């Protein structure tokens, strides 16, 4: 799951200790403890269990083995798992809503009209084919008109709303050191491949990928009727390789202290000479800013120099490519297919592209997500799910508080700060209290590219309009129909959209054990993000502040480094190993979520034994609940991409990794030395 808002929407977001008896139930204990639990199902998908594999040997395979054997990844997918299954359900619900709206005519500028016409515009391939590159002519003319590097700087500013063709992006978000106000920030960008590592490796597979990437670029040139496509492709890749060489790695970009560098425009100009930064921000409609946060100072110094070194003619080729690349799905079929051949087939392993109808739904959600979400909630969200989640969250807050109090490695002074932060958490469940409006956006049924550009401008104006305004505490970073969850460090809040509150994550008809191990551990995961290696740097107000004693920080780092080493040893494919440092926050959150989740489940039993259902004890069902939600299969290409770019470990390792550290799991399944799930006690990780 993604984490921290997802700072830009990779935003970001993500999916909690004592023994089996548990402590006396807290005052906020789960009301379902009074239910007749034997009347409920176990919630275990028994047909998925592989009983030829002992749970002590490979718990992921034991829980999901039969599913893995019989499941084929759909041809239009790069991976398939529990998240993808739920996303498909959510998409089908949304498609039904949109199809109903698209079958009717609506008042101009109404919500229904905007949704229906956006969907129609993506489906109108006849108009798209007839227009060709005409919708891009104004942007192509702007590229052709570039005369010098000052012009280029201005264009980079002007193109900030469309988020393409610029090796840096500017945005407005909460100030991480003063979370009650907004501030402008700037970050590295500009690559057409998913990560800088794709340009820096020289093994055979990486070189072949670059060759295929260049072939796509040359194909775009051919389709556009432009000359010298092969040369243009070489130019584009040469520029992107130079950008990759000066960019910070994903691990470096995780460091919230290192990426918080507040400076004035004058200080930016001094540290990154050679570019007229004031002109860039003027063109980006941010002329009046007094200061900004520069996330990668060394990159900005280098990119200012690089901009001057690269000829304008070469930058023009780079800009043309990125304009086509980012627009390909809205251009004639030949461009769309050329893009899919590389990004879908070669890079991700998809056998075929998703249907136009499904992609029309995705496009509509990207541009009008909360309008669609409002209608989704009216039809598909059950109020009782929210009430049940409210109870679960309260129980998890109590359990996490108990866990903090019992930490042997943390001092009393730091515990006080940790408890204060926990008490300040906010929770959002289901859907926003205040819905986002789209009054700024005009949608036309025959103008797909125009719709996209107006949407980008609308959202950009919404974003920069925050400056000088109070922080909007009602804002959501995900739509209700999104199957995910997240923690925001600056808001200090956890958010659970409506669409994730379904089996196998949440089952109102299932025994408590499964729900505590599935959606419960997701709740714990998100809470733990507030205390992972980066979340712990912020306080209860959402401000970056060092509230740790020197000894407590040393103790935390020792445990975290042990987890890095554990995950570094996992080898999912070929010679690629997981990046323990990149996934550290997610892996800490998984272990913390499960550990605190287990405590919360024990609390809910109020000292009474859990029933045995389908042959499994309550503790066993808890862990099976976690194992079920991480069933997943990847195509090889997608798995490689996940390992290189993703902070989240592949599902298999989100089961094997944390459970191998938990004595509660060892007790539940009688794990002994020599078993596949066994780790020696001195190398097991225990943080929260």
- Total domain count for the chain? 2
Residues 6+ apart with CB under 8 A from 471: 174, 179, 180, 181, 182
- In the chain, what percentage of residues exceed pLDDT 70? 94
- In the chain, what percentage of residues exceed pLDDT 90? 91
User: How many angstroms separate the CA atoms of 244 and 238, rounded?
Assistant: 10
User: pLDDT band at 509, cuts 50/70/90?
Assistant: confident
Indicate if 503 and 648 belong to the same structural domain.
yes
* Token pair listed for 630: 């991480």
pLDDT beyond 80 at 639: yes
Low-confidence winner among 2-6, 108-112, 207-211, 360-364 (lowest mean pLDDT): 2-6
What would the pLDDT profile of 359-398 be if each residue is shown by its tens digit?
999 999 999 999 999 999 999 998 888 888 999 999 999 9
Q: How much is the pLDDT for 483?
A: 95
Give the end of a domain, one of 330, 345, 364.
330
Indicate if 77 and 213 belong to the same structural domain.
no
What would the pLDDT profile of 531-582 be if each residue is shown by its tens digit?
999 999 999 999 999 999 999 999 999 999 999 999 999 999 999 999 999 9
Give the end of a domain, one of 269, 295, 330.
330
What would the pLDDT profile of 299-332 be if each residue is shown by its tens digit?
999 999 999 999 999 999 999 999 999 999 999 9
Integer CA distances (angstroms), 405 to 379, 539, 687, in order: 43, 18, 13
Residue 449: inside a domain: no
> 52: which strand partners?
none
Indicate if 173 and 69 belong to the same structural domain.
no
Q: How much is the pLDDT for 11?
A: 27
Q: How much is the pLDDT for 507?
A: 86
Instruction: Please check whether residue 585 is in contact with residue 533, taking contact to mean a CB–CB distance below 8 angstroms.
Output: yes
User: pLDDT band at 2, cuts 50/70/90?
Assistant: very low
Q: How much is the pLDDT for 39?
A: 67
What would the pLDDT profile of 466-494 be if each residue is shown by its tens digit?
999 999 999 999 999 999 999 999 999 99
User: Which CATH number goes with the domain that contains 483?
Assistant: 3.40.390.10
* Token pair listed for 221: 């040139």
User: How many angstroms separate the CA atoms of 63 and 597, rounded?
Assistant: 19
> 168: which strand partners?
188
Indicate if 323 and 392 belong to the same structural domain.
no
Residues 6+ apart with CB under 8 A from 335: 220, 223, 324, 327, 328
pLDDT beyond 70 at 271: yes
Indicate if 87 and 138 belong to the same structural domain.
no
Q: Which of 359, 458, 451, 441 is nearest to 94 (CA)?
A: 359
Residue 22: inside a domain: no
Residue 375: inside a domain: no
Q: Which residues of 478-503 are buried (b: 16+ CB within 10 A; e: fewer)?
A: bbbbbbbbbbbbbbbbbbbbbbbbbb
Give the end of a domain, one of 261, 296, 330.
330
Residue 176: inside a domain: yes
3-class secondary structure, 428: strand
Indicate if 598 and 500 belong to the same structural domain.
yes
Helices 297-309/229-246 angle, 10° precision: 150
Residue 511: inside a domain: yes
Phi, psi at 481, each rounded to 5° = -85, 5
Indicate if 87 and 137 belong to the same structural domain.
no
pLDDT beyond 90 at 452: yes
Per this entry, what is the length of the chain?
Answer: 688
What is the pLDDT averaged over residues 255-277? 97
Residue 626: inside a domain: yes
Indicate if 544 and 600 belong to the same structural domain.
yes
pLDDT beyond 90 at 33: no
Residue 450: inside a domain: no
What would the pLDDT profile of 174-220 be if each residue is shown by its tens digit?
999 999 999 999 999 999 999 999 999 999 999 999 999 999 999 99
Residue 208: inside a domain: yes
Q: How much is the pLDDT for 17?
A: 21
Q: Which of 163, 181, 164 is nearest to 172 (CA)?
A: 181
What is the pLDDT averaged over residues 394-413? 96
Indicate if 149 and 280 belong to the same structural domain.
yes
Q: What is the mean pLDDT of the chain?
A: 93
Domain containing residue 642: 43-91+383-435+475-683
Q: Which of 384, 618, 511 is nearest to 36 (CA)?
A: 511
Indicate if 79 and 143 belong to the same structural domain.
no
Indicate if 484 and 578 belong to the same structural domain.
yes
């Amino acid at each position: 799951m993604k984490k921290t808002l997802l700072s830009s929407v990779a935003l970001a977001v993500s999916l909690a200790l004592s023994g089996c008896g548990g402590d006396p139930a807290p005052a906020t204990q789960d009301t379902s403890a009074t239910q007749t639990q034997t009347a409920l199902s176990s919630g275990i998908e028994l047909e998925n269990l592989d009983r030829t594999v002992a749970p002590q040997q490979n718990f992921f395979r034991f829980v999901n083995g039969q599913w893995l054997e019989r499941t084929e990844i759909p041809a239009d997918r790069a991976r398939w798992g529990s998240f993808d299954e739920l996303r498909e359900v959510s998409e089908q619900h949304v498609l039904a809503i949109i199809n109903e709206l698209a079958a009717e005519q609506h008042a101009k500028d109404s919500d229904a009209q905007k949704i229906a016409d956006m969907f129609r515009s993506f489906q109108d391939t006849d108009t798209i084919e007839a227009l060709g590159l005409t919708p891009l002519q104004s942007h192509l003319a702007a590229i052709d008109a570039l005369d010098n590097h000052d012009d280029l700087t201005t264009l980079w500013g002007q193109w900030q709303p469309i988020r393409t063709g610029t090796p840096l992006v500017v945005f407005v978000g909460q100030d991480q050191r003063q979370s009650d106000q907004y501030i402008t920030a700037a970050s590295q960008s500009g690559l057409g491949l998913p990560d800088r590592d794709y340009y820096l490796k020289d093994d055979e597979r990486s070189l072949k990928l670059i060759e295929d990437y260049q072939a796509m670029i040359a194909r775009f040139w051919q389709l556009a009727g432009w000359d010298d496509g092969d040369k243009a492709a070489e130019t584009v890749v040469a520029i992107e390789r130079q950008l990759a060489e000066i960019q910070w790695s994903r691990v470096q970009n995780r460091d919230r202290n290192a990426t918080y560098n507040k400076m004035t425009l004058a200080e930016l100009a001094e540290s990154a000479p050679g570019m007229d930064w004031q002109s860039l921000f003027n063109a980006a409609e941010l002329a009046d800013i007094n200061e900004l946060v520069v996330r990668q100072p060394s990159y900005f110094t280098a990119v200012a120099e690089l901009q001057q070194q690269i000829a304008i003619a070469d930058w023009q080729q780079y800009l043309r490519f990125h304009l086509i690349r980012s627009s390909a799905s809205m251009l004639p079929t030949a461009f769309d297919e050329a893009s899919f051949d590389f990004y879908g087939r070669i890079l991700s392993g998809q056998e075929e592209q998703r249907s136009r109808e499904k992609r029309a739904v995705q496009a509509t959600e990207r541009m009008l997500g909360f309008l669609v979400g409002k209608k989704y909630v009216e039809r598909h969200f059950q109020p009782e799910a929210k009430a049940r989640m409210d109870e679960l969250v309260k129980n998890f807050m109590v359990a996490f508080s108990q866990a903090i109090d019992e930490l042997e490695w943390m001092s009393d002074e730091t515990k006080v700060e940790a408890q204060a932060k926990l008490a300040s958490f906010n929770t959002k469940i289901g859907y926003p209290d205040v819905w986002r409006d789209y009054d700024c956006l005009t949608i036309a049924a025959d103008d797909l590219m125009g719709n996209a550009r107006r949407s980008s401008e609308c959202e950009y104006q919404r974003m920069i309009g925050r400056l000088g305004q109070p922080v909007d505490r009602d804002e959501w970073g995900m739509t209700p129909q999104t199957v995910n969850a997240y923690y925001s460090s600056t808001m200090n809040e956890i958010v659970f959209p409506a669409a994730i509150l379904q089996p196998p994550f949440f089952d109102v008809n299932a025994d408590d054990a499964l729900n505590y191990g599935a959606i419960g551990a997701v709740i714990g995961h998100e809470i733990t993000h507030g205390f992972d290696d980066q979340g712990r740097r912020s306080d209860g107000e959402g401000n970056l502040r060092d509230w740790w004693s020197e000894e407590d920080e040393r103790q935390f780092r020792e445990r975290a480094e042990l987890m890095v080493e554990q995950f570094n040893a996992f080898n999912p494919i070929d010679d690629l190993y997981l990046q323990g440092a990149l996934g550290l926050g997610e892996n800490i959150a998984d272990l913390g979520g499960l550990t605190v989740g287990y405590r919360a489940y024990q609390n809910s039993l109020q000292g009474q034994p859990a029933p045995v259902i389908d042959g499994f004890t309550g503790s066993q069902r808890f862990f099976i609940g976690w194992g079920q939600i991480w069933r997943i299969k990847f195509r090889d290409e997608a798995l490689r991409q996940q390992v290189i770019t993703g902070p989240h470990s592949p599902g298999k390792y989100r089961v094997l990794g944390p459970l191998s550290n938990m004595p509660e799991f060892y007790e539940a399944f009688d794990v002994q030395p020599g078993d596949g799930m066994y780790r020696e006690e001195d190398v097991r990780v225990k943080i929260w």
